[in-house]
Amino acid sequence: MTESPQLPPENVFDWLDAEAEKRAAAGLVRRLRPRPAQPEELDLAGNDYLGLARDKRVAGAAAAAALRWGSGSTGSRLVTGSLELHTELELELARFCGAQAALVFSSGFAANLGAVTALSGTESAIVTDKYIHASLIEGCRLSRADVAAVAHSTPSAIQHALSTRRKPRALVITDSVFSVDGDLAPLGELAGICRENGAALLVDDAHGFGVLGEGGRGAVHAAGLSSAPDVVTTVTLSKSLGAQGGAVIGPRRVIKHLVDTARSFIFDTALAPASAAAALSALGVLKSEPDLPGKVVENAGNLAMQLKAAGLRASLPDAAVISVQAPSAEAAVAWAESCAEHGIRVGCFRPPSVPDGISRLRLTARADLTEADLDRAVKVITASAPRGATA
Ligand code: PMP
């Protein structure tokens, strides 16, 4: 038997300090920066694409629901947590997207975990784009399936992995709009490959829902796949809808299966009344203002073109997200800080959040950005660019 070292209790977590030093040396320390209630900065970092998080109708619906139903939902959906609000939101989400049914979760992360694990298992092969969101990767890790993560946006690699799989069932997983560079997956082509190979397709439409497709119905709807019997969509309620929570949208039998088996649904307290009501209200706004989503895409395109014209390595966005490559993790942090000092809040992605190891600024466009906002943003981002940031 190996002797266990006699560590005094106060030293049990010493290894955390050693890890923290390593992260500091690699420029990977993360800081939590509280946002004031009335931000003075121009926000190009959040995911409130339609500006609905502060919309009085949406916030008012949240407040009214909290007063009527309580501040918490009090239990899981299967015990005391199911409210009419949840059912109404599920019906509305399904109807809006043109799908049979929907199920809401307490976050998009939980929706992804639940969908991936419930729709796969030891008899399954999962094939994913290697740049899928962390929540889907965690789902794959928990799934007990054979998992192959293949080259980014390469349908032939998905086809190859599917046709050489050793398991009878198969699930292909992709983001619709990838969260770092904002590029769109070839959903139509992927759906075709899935069909040829007897696989289901799971699409995380977190960054497409509310931004792409007719009236913001999302990338899956735009690809004509929202009522497909073999396609399942996940969304978050916390980006375009300005609320909190997530949902799985798809065939009725998939949703029934999730109610019975998805552990992040069954063992999780139901979505709070305020969040459900906010999402429902935001969906109403989206329906009454179908031009909002187009403005997001237009603003993102203009911002990216101007940054590129200034020589920066900016991605060309398919939706709201733009990335700008930085020469190093430290340079990215300093760049983002310098932007903040000049009144522009931008995101900063470093390893391990960027799978290819290239640190980036991450910018997000909103529907309500003005031309003056865009001009100011381009001036500040360009003037604070570190050496080596231009192409
Ligand atoms: N999927 C993607 C692509 C995301 O970007 C996010 C949020 N960053 C999530 C899922 C998780 O959603 P939520 O924040 O609602 O948990």
- Ordered per-residue pLDDT tens for the chain, 391 residues: 567 778 999 999 999 999 999 999 887 788 888 888 887 889 999 999 999 999 999 999 999 999 999 999 999 999 999 999 999 999 999 999 999 999 999 999 999 999 999 999 999 999 999 999 999 999 999 999 999 999 999 999 999 999 999 999 999 999 999 988 899 999 999 999 999 999 999 999 999 999 999 999 999 999 999 999 999 999 999 999 999 999 999 999 999 999 999 999 999 999 999 999 999 999 999 999 999 999 999 999 999 999 999 999 999 999 999 999 999 999 999 999 999 999 999 999 988 878 788 999 999 999 999 999 999 999 999 999 999 898 7
Whole-model pTM? Answer: 0.95
Amino acid at 245: G
Among protein residues, the one with the nearest Cα to ligand 1's atom 5 is: 179
Residues 66 and 106 in one domain: yes
Residues 112 and 172 in one domain: yes
Domain boundary among 288, 306, 321: 288
Among protein residues, the one with the nearest Cα to ligand 1's atom 12 is: 108
The residue whose CB lies within 8 Å of the most ligand 1 atoms, and thus the one to mutate among 106, 113, 131, 133, is 133
Pocket of ligand 1 contains residue 176 by CB under 6 Å: no
Q: Is residue 29 included in any domain, yes or no?
A: no
Question: Where residue 147 sits, what CATH number does that domain have?
Answer: 3.40.640.10
Give me the pLDDT at residue 302, please: 97
Domain boundary among 255, 270, 288: 288
Among protein residues, the one with the nearest Cα to ligand 1's atom 4 is: 206
Residue with tokens 């735009």: 222
Give me the pLDDT at residue 141, please: 98
Pocket of ligand 1 contains residue 234 by CB under 6 Å: no
Residues 86 and 183 in one domain: yes
Give me the pLDDT at residue 2, please: 64
Domain count, the chain: 2
Q: Give the position, in ligand 1's atom list, of the atom nearest the Cα of 175.
A: 3
Residues 249 and 368 in one domain: no
pLDDT in tens, 228-255: 999 999 999 999 999 999 999 999 999 9
Q: Which residues make Cβ contacts (< 8 Å) with residue 321, sequence separation at least 6?
A: 177, 178, 179, 180, 181, 182, 207, 300, 362, 363, 364
Residues 272 and 318 in one domain: no
Residues 113 and 207 in one domain: yes
Residues 69 and 201 in one domain: yes
Considering only CA atoms, which of 247, 180, 172 is closest in space to residue 209?
A: 247
Residues 248 and 308 in one domain: no
Domain boundary among 288, 317, 347: 288
- 8 CA to centre of ligand 1 in angstroms: 40
Full residue range of the structural domain in which residue 376 is found = 291-383
Among protein residues, the one with the nearest Cα to ligand 1's atom 15 is: 108
Residue with tokens 């237009």: 298
- 284 CA to centre of ligand 1 in angstroms: 22
Give me the pLDDT at residue 1, please: 57
Give me the pLDDT at residue 246, please: 98
Amino acid at 230: D
Q: Give the position, in ligand 1's atom list, of the atom nearest the Cα of 177.
A: 3
Q: Is residue 281 included in any domain, yes or no?
A: yes
Give me the pLDDT at residue 356, please: 81
**Helix then strand then coil, % of the chain, to nearest 5:** 45, 15, 40
Pocket of ligand 1 contains residue 112 by CB under 6 Å: yes
Q: Give the position, in ligand 1's atom list, of the atom nearest the Cα of 244.
A: 15
Pocket of ligand 1 contains residue 275 by CB under 6 Å: no
Residues 91 and 205 in one domain: yes
Question: Where residue 359 sits, what CATH number does that domain have?
Answer: 3.90.1150.10
Q: Is residue 194 included in any domain, yes or no?
A: yes
